[in-house]
């Protein structure tokens, strides 16, 4: 079941989306394969700390966060991966590892890699390890208001 808070938010805004069910998967690349979505269009949420503030770095499943680029893009003095213990209680109703990129609903800043912003449509975790939402990127951007920057690079794996 998708995160109730997210679904209610999308519905209250009249957002157009499709809910996609898939077999349980744990990595972004596995999810993309299960849901038959190109890795470039599946937005994964990586939890980071930017000068000590928990934030979301959202980028294509086929990319990894380049922490030096994120640091430069944000003007931060320190950027690091956040540990699960630092954010697990911030997203009630969401399964761990399935956090949707809607930090605005949880008072968490959202940064989107420029390569994802070039997609017409994106898909992202619905708060469940078995469901995704798919919607127009422009609608996502209008609802979330993320900061768009270049901080991702294609994964070698």
Question: Could you tell me the pTM of the whole model?
Answer: 0.92
Nearest-angstrom CA–CA distance, 91 and 36: 27
**Residue 24 confidence (pLDDT):** 75
> Is the CA virtual torsion 121, 140, 107, 146 positive or negative?
positive
Nearest-angstrom CA–CA distance, 8 and 21: 18
Nearest-angstrom CA–CA distance, 123 and 13: 18
The ranges assigned to domains in the chain are 4-129+145-154
10-residue mean pLDDT profile of the chain (157 residues): values are 82 94 76 76 94 97 95 97 94 89 96 94 90 95 97 85
> Structurally, what CATH architecture does the domain formed by 4-129+145-154 represent?
Alpha-Beta Complex (3.90)
């Amino acid at each position: 079941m998708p995160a109730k808070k997210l679904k209610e938010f999308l519905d209250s805004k009249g957002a157009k989306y499709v809910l996609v069910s898939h077999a349980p998967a744990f990595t972004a690349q596995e999810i993309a394969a299960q849901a038959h979505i190109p890795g470039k269009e599946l937005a994964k949420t990586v939890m980071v700390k930017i000068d000590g503030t928990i934030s979301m770095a959202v980028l294509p499943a086929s990319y990894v966060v380049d922490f030096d680029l994120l640091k430069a893009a944000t003007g931060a003095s320190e950027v690091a991966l956040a540990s699960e213990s630092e954010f697990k209680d911030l997203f009630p109703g969401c399964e761990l590892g399935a956090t949707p990129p809607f930090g605005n609903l949880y008072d968490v800043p959202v940064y989107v890699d420029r390569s994802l912003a070039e997609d017409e449509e994106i898909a992202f975790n619905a708060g469940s390890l078995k469901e995704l939402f798919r919607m127009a990127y422009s609608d996502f951007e209008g609802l979330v208001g993320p900061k768009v920057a270049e901080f991702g690079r294609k994964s070698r794996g």
